[in-house]
Amino acid sequence: MNYEKVIINTLDSFGVSRSYTGYNYVVYGLLLIFEDADRIECITKTLYLDVAKHFHTNWSCVEKNMRTVVNCVWNSHNAELLEIIFNKSNRTKKPTNKEFFKYMYDYVFQTGSEIKMADKYFHVLCPISNSYCSALSAFYVKLSKMFE
């Protein structure tokens, strides 16, 4: 299963800019968690260090840049997807980095299973309303099938 596509599609659906340094850190960090789920329990001692080593930086920069992405996701206008992934209506505070990774891991794992069953699954942000758009999602599913 190619979880990277699901991770990138999800972050893009939240409107997270790929120009954020933390964008690549989050993608790589989630991929590391899929290799070894135990990394999620000690993100400071394992995940941050592994990501920092890969990107030739230090763990505190990794943590700060990941937090920027978490803030961007939490403040996005994609309320439906926030509700699906983070159950935002029952939360008053944004998730910590560790909570963010746990929720994202669960969501990407579940969505990866849906892709196997439904072939394709897209969350697309409408450029006008800035929220999840099922019509655009269906369009991208059909479009992706045309290019296979």
Structure tokens at 42: 């000690």
Residues 27-45 have pLDDT tens digits of: 999 999 999 999 999 999 9
Has residue 145 got a pLDDT over 90? no
Which pLDDT score, from 0 to 100, does residue 125 have? 62
**Percent of the chain at pLDDT above 70?**
74
> Which of 68, 73, 62, 102 lies closest to 12, judged by CA?
73
d(CA 140, CA 119): 12
Q: What is the pTM of this model?
A: 0.75
Structure tokens at 112: 């990866």
Residues 88-103 have pLDDT tens digits of: 777 778 899 999 999 9
